[in-house]
Structure 1
Amino acid sequence: MAPSGSRSIRRGCKRVLYWIPVLFIALIVAWSYYAYVLQLCIGKTCSAVGLLAVVYLLVYHVVFVLFVWAYWQTIFTRPLNPLKEFHLSHSDKELLEREDRGESQQEILRRIARDLPIYTRTNSGAIRFCDRCQLLKPDRCHHCSVCDKCILKMDHHCPWVNNCVGFSNYKYFMLFLAYSLLYCLFITATDLQYFIKFWTVSLPDTQAKFHILFLFFSASMFSVSLASLFIYHCWLVCKNRSTLEAVRAPVFRHGTDKNGFSLGFSKNFRQVFGDEVKFWPNVVFNPKYEHWFYFESLRKSVLSHIAIRFQHMN
């Protein structure tokens, strides 16, 4: 009982620790709201230009709501896990455990994989199998050591959202990057004139001085890091790759192909954001990120991959 209890305590402590980066971001955002709204706009700093302060507040709150909502969705949208069809049955598990040779185990896995839509392999050409979850990995599926689960189209585990970024929440993650970048750029642009006044000693000597100075520096630094990350993920979306696939190209039955899942710029983009243009910036509506949608997108990608390969052969 003691070892089991200690493991439960360790798991509980880890779960608490994983929320620390999210809490840190939440505190930064709460402080930025206080500094911008109460100190910069409502305080004496902008009192001479009241109309401008109202405009700032209106635009700020629109961007703020979009940013926070996208962040919330990224955190609490659960990643998709493989269907039960990919899990080994009890008899297959026993059969696999009895075999001590790798080739015999692979023969069993190949037999099971015949009835499943699996097209990718390991670098050695073997069936991709997860010992931890006891399942055959669907294409673009990877095991997350933090979540201790296999995630469909896993991009990475992001500590800042305490969640795996994968097929089901990748749109929300992209919107989170976009709106957080817009949030920081807006603060930087509107705070710049007061930041300049601070150095020219023409800013009133109020409590807002510190907030204006630190707010500008914080927003500027976050803008640089967010811009680089957002541009990188835009490139991934255009290529229909995940971060893991950008590092290690997927291996198909006929060899490695870094563009194996690409359908072209337009279709790649729509696979993440959906077909309806009006819903692309929407943080509420998400394309039908369900298992059938996932495997349908894979089927189209693989058929495109086979067609391109056939053209090259001829």
Structure 2
Amino acid sequence: MEKEKRVYQVWKGSNKFLLGGRIILGPDAKSVLATILLITVPVVIFCIFVAWHLRHAHQFVSYNAGYAILVVAIVFTIYVLALLLRTSTRDPGIVPRNSHPPEEEFRYDSSVVETGGRQTPGLQFPRTKEVMVNGIPVRVKYCDTCMLYRPPRCSHCSICNNCVERFDHHCPWVGQCIGVRNYRYFFLFVSSATLLCIYVFAISAFYMKVLMNDNHYTVWRAMKDSPASVILMAYCFISLWFVGGLTGFHMYLIGTNQTTYENFRYRTDSRLNVYNRGCANNYGEVFCTSIKPSRNNFRAYAQEEVQQTPPLRTTPENEIEIMDDSGDQRTKVHNDLDLGGDLLKISQCHNIEDIEDDIRSRGSNLLHNSSETDSYVGSDYHTQTIRADIRHSSRGRSRNFEIRSDISTKDAHVHEG
């Protein structure tokens, strides 16, 4: 007996899972290792070549005050790494995708589609609809991949292939989307990394000053005596332009209640920001509210989609459209005879061969039953036709079947085109 699979094993996004679905990562999770190295390597150099030599510096009032510099550097680095892992290994706010399009949103457009030699109205979704946010209408878009109308401030990440609530951006340095459930940790990580850079830069500069005072060195002699300090100061100065600028930018975004995506996409628009509740309330929303629980239970057992009935809609012209759950097959049946809904049962077929056999068997049964035939065919018509156009999008093949009936003989002839 085949073992039942869990949600993370059949997940349609591009995420990677560890520890049996307990940890979720982005598709570029390896970049997290590079970020860890960019943080830990400079700190290790700092602890060995700078902090360790400051243990007994004469400038300190306390004889062992230099040990505090070493401890603070280690503890602060562990804190920054914990925030990094917290940001990159949790669900950022993924909206579960639907197995089928929302049926209540089906509508017929005015365009005419010619299929199987017939003209029928096209079936489509409204691309947008309006929802109310703080008493103001906001337009949301339909996502073809997730088959849902995105909640306000939600966007589809092309890298992770998921719709994420309050989508900010996809950060390659943490290998994860930044959304409603990890934005707080992302900001704390960036701001803490900024403080760590300032700390290492300041202590390295202080060590250069100690060398100059204790040994009566010039600046150049002190730099030559401690090249590690020079390298650390240069590295931290460059890093500050990145993490420091990012911290300042996100402080502005939080204060105005914007996301990075909204800021870059709508910066030229004069639209009203319906989410802005004032600077203090905006900061409170990010740091003083409870984080929403995940909408996905990745360790739950996945339900077999083949056990679900595929969505089936009919047009006013009796065009029946069946979509396979996997999205790989589309079947359109044009019903020229009013079969009383009997032909709709072919929606239980999940492959091309089953549908072909079903059409043959149902057509033969119908035409050999004289009472049914007389109820559907008038005296002025000697021949009726059931047509089925079966299209397989992934293989690109198309077959046409005709089941013809002669009323006098009630014999069925099946012609395959």
Superposition TM-score tier, normalisation by shorter sequence: 0.5 to 0.7
AA matched with 1:265: C
Q: Give 1:249 shift.
A: 3.4
For structure 1, the residue ranges without an aligned partner over 5 or more in a row are: 1-9, 122-126, 276-286, 293-314
Residue among 10, 21, 28 paired with 1:18:
28
Identity %: 23
Q: 1:142–1:191: structure 2 CA closer, same or farther, 3 Å change rule?
A: same
AA matched with 1:92: E
Q: Give 1:261 shift.
A: 0.8
- Say if 2:158 is the partner of 1:139: no
Residue among 43, 67, 77 paired with 1:33:
43
Check whether the contact 2:26–2:176 (CA below 8 A) recurs between aligned residues.
no
Residue among 88, 97, 120 paired with 2:138:
120
Aligned to 1:168: 181
Check whether the contact 1:81–1:152 (CA below 8 A) recurs between aligned residues.
yes
Aligned to 2:292: 289
TM-score by length of 1: 0.68
Aligned to 1:92: 103
For structure 2, the residue ranges without an aligned partner over 5 or more in a row are: 1-13, 17-24, 113-121, 213-217, 296-417
Aligned to 1:201: 221
Residue among 281, 285, 288 paired with 1:267:
281
Residues in 1 aligned to 2:100 and 2:151: alpha-carbon distance in whole angstroms: 16
Q: Give 1:88 shift.
A: 7.0
- Say if 2:105 is the partner of 1:105: no
Q: Give 1:259 shift.
A: 1.6
Residues in 2 aligned to 1:73 and 1:161: alpha-carbon distance in whole angstroms: 10
Residues in 1 aligned to 2:65 and 2:229: alpha-carbon distance in whole angstroms: 17
Number of matched pairs = 253
Aligned to 1:284: none
Q: Deviations over 1:170-193 (max 9, x none)?
A: 100110111100100000111113
Q: Deviations over 1:100-125 (max 9, x none)?
A: 85997355975xx789999422xxxx
Residue among 192, 197, 206 paired with 1:179:
192
- Say if 2:255 is the partner of 1:242: no
Q: 1:70–1:57: structure 2 CA closer, same or farther, 3 Å change rule?
A: same
Residues in 1 aligned to 2:230 and 2:127: alpha-carbon distance in whole angstroms: 64
Aligned to 1:62: 75
Check whether the contact 1:246–1:258 (CA below 8 A) recurs between aligned residues.
no
Check whether the contact 1:22–1:162 (CA below 8 A) recurs between aligned residues.
yes
AA matched with 2:291: K
AA matched with 1:21: S
Q: Deviations over 1:120-141 (max 9, x none)?
A: 22xxxxx511111111111000
Q: Give 1:52 shift.
A: 3.7
AA matched with 1:272: V
- Give RMSD over aligned pairs: 3.8
Higher strand share: 2
Q: Give 1:95 shift.
A: 4.9
Give SS of 2:94's match.
coil
Q: 1:210–1:131: structure 2 CA closer, same or farther, 3 Å change rule?
A: same
Check whether the contact 1:141–1:153 (CA below 8 A) recurs between aligned residues.
yes
Give SS of 1:51's match.
coil
Residues in 2 aligned to 1:40 and 1:131: alpha-carbon distance in whole angstroms: 56
Aligned to 1:71: 84
